[in-house]
């Protein structure tokens, strides 16, 4: 693959063919990630409201249809053991399992497994068949159920039908209609198992490297959901497999017992497929047109049923592969295991001491017990071992742990519980949901808001730039990937955010003290029980400052505000998990953590942050211009503050950046720049890459021009305010 990598053998002179801009200049800053999922691309319409469509769904009927499908074996893809349960659990798990806690991207929340590269990852082999089996049901219920929800629900119904007590199901995953190109899946140009693992810097020291997996990746190889089932690079070593499992499951936010629960729970069902040493056809994305989106055509025997080749491993874990029992774990500890080869030649384990009592899926014969190398990891690892052993003798404990871990796995990327839909949302709240209290008191009125804004601006030690910086710091932790973060909860006043360098803790604490005073005074004075939260005051303070700064530039504007935010408690805030929201860089506040990410360029990190904030290219541009005008650098530095009147909402950043009379030179390191007067050589400005990119990148410069030219000032203020209000409300899933 490597020599032809990136090249299509069929030349095209149509529809985007030929040598493109990105081929000539592959290092160009890529803005495309900010142009994804535009409403115009949604065939259901720009105004499609999934929650409203879901409300019309006959949920019971849908579940009954899914249940019936499980045991209706279709001859084109017959069900193992007469039950598709294992296949659908694997579909749900592989949908959700790409989630990475570090950047919140991946996961099942957008139905991305339908698109490349995921639809064609080697690890997702034959899940195309699982989706085709679901198609008649999707077709029947139409837009009332998204693919993203349907794939997870199918796993849940499969578990229920096989006797497992799931905790519940929250729907609410609207579909996307294209591949999400914002996700960094790694830099390798080959899929597992041929990987030259760039993510491990090429290291084959499987002990040392396990903890050094490139961030934010959560898979051991390109093309895998987590780890190679046959051990690191297929080396057959269960103990080393455990190290990879710990790192990768840890990267998705699972601890040791959650990890054991997930693997032991999942592999209680179904089987693996490696009937013969035959190479299957290309995956869906590389398959020929007449295959209609199916891939991995299997030339062996019937090509399906007992002749199926998926992973190339041939394992039956349990004597009861279609029932929830403890047979997987009890078998794991009951038997002695010997390394053998699957019919396809892959390393796996077999219990030579086992009776022939593990059922063949089709021919009514029985086999000996078998396990994957990665399953043996649960027995041989010194931490997993005791957990798994205890559960092998305590079925209830395994059941409870798997139920909780499965619910977390499948809902982790959905954000606040206010996004969950449907009749099966569990009442129980979990710390990983970043819980918020409910506001059961009357909200502040518009008159209150006006008074509060005046009060805030009158506080001692409060400045325009501190108000705007703190409101930005509060709201801009939001990540579109998993909908975590945001201004609601005022977690910027709690650990760890209150101590983050990017938040300028000293300035932050001063401002929080002032806002808390305003909060107390207001709430004490209320007779009708009305209250204001710190979270609302932080946003209101930012808005007040922007209105004042716009007025100073001659613009009378009102920044939209929606009250109703609440204040979280420290006890409801998982510090380690929130630390993952600490930005590597925040170009909007000219911040870059130099000890953090080493490879990405500063301007790429700005675009990455803008993508998390679901911004368009013009929104990102207007926000940077405005934040510079408002003097909002995290450290109060003058970098990129290209204005003689900082704290006034002007378009000065753009007019001065585009001024031909300034000549820019690089400081050593390539991160900082000095702007001098072309004629006199006098030093005028300093700036970072997150500033100068708006003059150097042709498309960004084009937008910068639109803010610098005649009428640009007006436009800049309007666009800044709209984008600002959008960011402040990114997490307000509680508001219709
Ligand atoms: Fe699994 C299957 C691996 C985890 C669930 N897996 C499977 C297979 C393999 C695996 C290789 C086979 C495929 C074929 O077909 O061939 N896993 C694995 C690994 C891991 C896992 C390596 C990590 C360690 N799983 C898991 C989890 C879950 C699961 C976590 C859930 C929860 N799986 C599963 C199922 C199945 C599988 C259910 C079966 C499917 C059927 O039956 O089809």
Q: Give per-residue pLDDT as tens, 118-148.
A: 999 999 999 999 999 999 999 999 999 999 9
User: Is the CB–ligand 1 distance for residue 484 below 6 Å?
Assistant: no
Between 12-16, 399-403, 605-609, the lowest mean confidence (pLDDT) is in 12-16
CA–centroid distance, 664 to ligand 1, in Å, is: 56
The burial of 679, by beta-carbon neighbours within 10 Å (0-12 exposed, 13-18 middle, 19 or more buried), is given as exposed
d(CA 259, ligand 1 centre) in Å: 13
- 227: Cβ below 6 Å to ligand 1? yes
Mean pLDDT of 455-471: 97
Residue environment code for 692-713, b if the CB has 16+ CB neighbours within 10 A, otherwise e: bbbbebeebbebbebbbeeebb
- Tell me if 271 CB under 6 Å of ligand 1: yes
Distance 262 CA to ligand 1 centre (A): 10
Q: Which atom of ligand 1 is nearest to the CA of 126?
A: 15
Q: Is the CB of 384 under 6 A from ligand 1?
A: no
DSSP H or E stretch at residue 262 = helix 256-266
Say yes or no: CB of residue 542 within 6 Å of ligand 1. no
- What is the mean pLDDT of the segment spanning 703-710? 98
Distance 79 CA to ligand 1 centre (A): 16
Ligand 1: atom nearest CA of 92 is 31
Average pLDDT, the chain: 96
pLDDT at 5 (0 to 100): 79
Question: Ligand 1: which of 158, 160, 266 to mutate, judged by most atoms within 8 Å of the beta carbon?
Answer: 266
Query: Which own/partner contact pairs does 709-716 have at CB distance under 8 Å and 24+ positions apart?
Result: 712/651, 712/654, 712/655, 713/553, 713/650, 713/651, 714/555, 716/622, 716/625, 716/626, 716/650, 716/651, 716/654
Cβ(23)–Cβ(17) below 8 Å: no
- Give pLDDT, residue 1: 44
Catalytic pick from 94, 267, 273, 335?
94
Report the phi/psi class of residue 106: left, alpha or beta, with left for phi > 0 and alpha for psi in -120 to 50: left
DSSP label at 190? S
Calculate how far, in angstroms, residue 351's C-alpha sits from the geometric centre of ligand 1: 19
Give the pLDDT band of residue 528 (cuts 50, 70, 90).
confident
The mean pLDDT of 64-71, rounded to a whole number, is 98
In 3-state terms, what secondary structure has residue 351?
Answer: coil
Which tokens go with 67?
């249940």
- pLDDT > 70? residue 597: no
pLDDT, position 596: 64
Ligand 1 site, residue 80, Cβ cutoff 6 A: yes
- Whole-number pLDDT of residue 9: 78
* Angular region, 162: left φ>0, alpha ψ -120 to 50, beta rest: alpha
46: which residues sit within 8 A by CB, 6+ positions away?
39, 40
Residue 463 region by backbone torsions, left for phi larger than 0, else alpha for psi between -120 and 50, else beta: beta
Nearest to 666 by CA among 691, 646, 642: 691
Closest to 420 in 3D by CA, of 733, 717, 63, 721: 733
pLDDT tens digits, one per residue of 169-209 = 999 999 999 999 999 999 999 898 766 789 998 888 999 99
**What confidence tier does 554 reach under pLDDT thresholds 50, 70, 90?**
very high
- Angle made by CA atoms 149, 155, 160, in degrees to the nearest 5: 120
Contact predicate 464/719, CB 8 Å: no
β-pairing, 585-586 with 591-592? antiparallel
Determine the distance separating the centroid of ligand 1 and the alpha carbon of 362, expressed in angstroms: 19
Is 94 among the catalytic positions? Answer: yes
> Is residue 675 very low, low, confident or very high in pLDDT (cuts 50, 70, 90)?
very high
Which atom of ligand 1 is closest in space to residue 268's alpha carbon?
38
CB-neighbour burial class of residue 440 (10 A; exposed 0-12, middle 13-18, buried 19+): exposed
Q: What is the atom index within ligand 1 of the atom nearest the CA of 97?
A: 30
- Under the banding of pLDDT at 50, 70 and 90, the label for residue 161 is very high
Assembly ipTM: 1.00
Residue 52 has pLDDT above 80, yes or no: yes
Euclidean distance between CA atoms 661 and 371, whole angstroms: 71
Cα dihedral 245, 249, 255, 257 in deg (nearest 10): -60
- Contact between 224 and 247 under an 8 Å Cβ cutoff? The reply is no
pLDDT at position 736, please?
A: 79
Q: Residue 14 — pLDDT band, cuts 50, 70, 90?
A: confident
């Amino acid at each position: 693959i490597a020599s032809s990598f990136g090249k299509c053998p069929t030349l095209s002179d149509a529809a985007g063919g030929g040598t493109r801009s990105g081929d000539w200049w592959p290092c160009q800053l890529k803005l495309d990630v900010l142009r994804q999922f535009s409403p115009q691309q949604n065939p259901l319409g720009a105004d499609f409201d999934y929650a409203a469509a879901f409300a019309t769904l006959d949920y019971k009927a849908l579940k009954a249809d899914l249940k019936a499908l499980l045991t209706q074996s279709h001859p084109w893809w017959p069900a193992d053991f007469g039950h598709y349960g294992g296949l659908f659990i694997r579909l749900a798990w592989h949908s959700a399992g790409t989630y990475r806690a570090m950047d919140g991207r991946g996961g099942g929340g957008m139905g991305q497994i339908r698109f490349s590269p995921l639809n064609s990852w080697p690890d997702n082999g034959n899940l195309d068949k699982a989706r085709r089996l679901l198609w008649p049901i999707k077709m029947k219920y139409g837009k009332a159920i998204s693919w993203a929800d349907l794939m997870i629900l199918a796993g849940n119904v499969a578990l229920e039908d096989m006797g497992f007590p799931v905790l519940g199901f929250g729907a609410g995953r609207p579909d996307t209609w294209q591949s999400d190109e914002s996700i960094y899946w790694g830099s390798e140009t080959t899929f597992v198992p041929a990987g030259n693992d760039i993510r491990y810097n090429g290291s084959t020291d499987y002990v040392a490297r396990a903890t050094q997996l490139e961030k934010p990746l959560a898979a051991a190889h390109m093309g895998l959901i987590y780890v190679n089932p046959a051990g690191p690079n297929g080396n057959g070593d269960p103990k080393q497999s455990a190290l990879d499992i710990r790192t990768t499951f840890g990267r998705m936010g699972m601890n040791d017992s959650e990890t054991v629960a997930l693997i032991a729970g999942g592999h209680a069902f179904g089987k693996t497929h490696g009937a013969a040493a035959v190479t299957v056809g290309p995956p869906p994305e590389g398959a020929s047109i007449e295959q209609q989106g199916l891939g991995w055509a299997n030339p062996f025997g019937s090509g399906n049923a007992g002749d199926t080749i998926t992973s190339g491993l041939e394992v039956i874990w349990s004597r009861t592969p279609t029932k929830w029992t403890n047979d997987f774990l009890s078998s794991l500890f009951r038997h002695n295991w010997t390394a053998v080869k699957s019919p396809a030649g892959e390393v796996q384990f077999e219990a030579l001491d086992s009776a022939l009592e593990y059922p063949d899926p089709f021919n009514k014969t029985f086999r000996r017990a078998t396990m994957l190398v990665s399953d043996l990891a649960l027995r041989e690892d010194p931490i997993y071992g005791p957990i798994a052993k205890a559960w092998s003798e305590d079925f209830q404990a395994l059941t409870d742990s798997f139920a909780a871990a499965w619910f977390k796995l499948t809902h982790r990327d959905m954000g606040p519980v206010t996004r969950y839909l449907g009749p099966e949302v569990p009442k129980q709240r979990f710390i990983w949901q970043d819980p918020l209290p409910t506001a059961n008191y009357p909200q502040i009125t518009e008159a209150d808001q006006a008074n509060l804004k005046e009060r805030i601006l009158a506080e001692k030690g409060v400045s325009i730039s501190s108000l705007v910086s703190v409101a930005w710091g509060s709201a801009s932790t939001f990540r579109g990937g998993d909908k975590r973060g945001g201004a609601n909860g005022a977690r910027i006043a709690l650990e760890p955010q209150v101590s983050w360098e990017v938040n300028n803790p000293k300035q932050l604490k001063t401002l929080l003290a002032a806002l808390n005073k305003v909060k107390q005074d207001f709430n004490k004075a209320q007779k009708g029980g009305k209250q204001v939260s710190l979270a609302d005051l932080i946003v209101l303070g930012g808005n007040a400052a922007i209105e004042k700064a716009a007025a100073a530039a001659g613009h009378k504007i009102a920044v939209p505000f929606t009250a109703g935010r609440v204040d979280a408690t420290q006890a409801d805030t998982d510090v380690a998990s929130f630390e993952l929201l600490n930005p590597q860089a925040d170009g909007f506040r000219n911040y870059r953590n130099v000890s953090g990410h080493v490879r990405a360029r500063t301007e790429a990190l700005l675009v990455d942050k803008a993508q998390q904030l679901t911004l368009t290219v013009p929104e990102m541009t207007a926000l940077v211009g405005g934040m510079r005008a408002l003097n909002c650098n995290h450290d109060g530095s003058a970098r990129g503050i290209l204005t003689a009147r900082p704290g006034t909402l002007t378009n000065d950043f753009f007019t001065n950046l585009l001024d031909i009379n300034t000549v820019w030179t690089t400081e050593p390191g390539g991160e900082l720049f000095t702007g001098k007067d072309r004629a006199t050589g006098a030093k005028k400005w300093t700036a970072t890459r997150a500033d100068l990119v708006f003059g150097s990148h042709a498309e960004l410069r084009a937008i910068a021009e639109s803010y610098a030219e005649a009428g640009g000032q007006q436009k800049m203020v309007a666009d800044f305010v709209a984008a600002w209000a959008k960011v402040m409300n990114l997490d307000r899933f509680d508001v219709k």
